[in-house]
Amino acid sequence: MSHCHDEHCDHDHEDIPGSGDQFSLYSRIDLDNVRCLNELEPNSGKRIIRPWHDRLTNTEYLESDADEQLLVYVPFTGSIKLRTICLHTDRGDQAPATMKVFINRDDMDFDAAESYIPTQTWELIRQHDDVAEYGTRVAKFTNVRNLTLFFPDNFGGDTTVIRYLGFKGEWTEMKRDPIITVYEANANPADHKIPGADDKMDHSIQ
């Protein structure tokens, strides 16, 4: 059974945690441009982002490489209001202990993640059999175009393991403002001649 693990779950009239795939944003993720830093296996960060019904598939997982830190960049195909982050991690010491999330930043690396103030930070639970759902402070997660999730530590393992990553919320199609070119009419003196002016200038008073 899934639960909300944040006291600031600003859910409106809908009970988002435990709502299955009703509010899943999986189809709104730009999977081709998902990036992961410090992944042991190339593209494993993309493969843990799966449809809701595949959340407990254990054949694919993300494991960190050089140390326990992971950073996952997730862009969306539109603007989202993020309500819930869903995680299935490891039962043991390789489970991430902290998650810091930044919105609408394209320049994130580990140095930036360590120095910037995150939009929200969660203390994570040790995982059991199902997905844990972490509610956001929704007011801070509106008009989201991309997310960067930083997992700085775990419960004591040499590497960190995440088995599933998902998102729930609302999606709005990206509206691209039309490019409007304003042609400013520069005054052309030839267009503003006073009839007869040239004739007057050519005839000086004798």
pLDDT, tens digit, 9 for 90 and up, residues 141-184: 999 999 999 999 999 999 999 999 999 999 988 666 555 555 55
CATH 2.60.120.470 is the classification of domain 26-180 = yes
- Cα(95)–Cα(154) distance, integer angstroms: 5
The SS3 of residue 84 is strand
Instruction: Give me the residue spans of the domains in the chain.
Output: 26-180
Which band of pLDDT confidence, cut at 50, 70 and 90, is reported for residue 18?
A: very low
If you compute the radius of gyration of the chain from its CA atoms, what whole number of angstroms results? Answer: 27
* CB-CB neighbours of 61 under 10 Å: 19
Instruction: Report pLDDT digits (tens) over 37-95.
Output: 999 999 999 999 999 999 998 889 999 999 999 999 999 999 999 999 999 998 899 99
Q: Give 78's DSSP letter.
A: E
The model's pLDDT over 180-206, given as tens digits with 9 standing for 90+, comes to: 555 555 555 555 555 555 554 454 444
* pLDDT the model gives residue 20: 57
- If phi > 0 it is left, if psi is from -120 to 50 it is alpha, else beta; for residue 156 that is left
First to last CA, the chain: 106
**Can you give the pLDDT at residue 130?**
86
Beta bridge partners of 88: 164
Rounded to an integer, what distance in angstroms lies between the CA atom of residue 123 and that of residue 204? 92
Dist. CA 44–CA 60, nearest whole Å: 7
Q: Which amino acid is at 89?
A: T
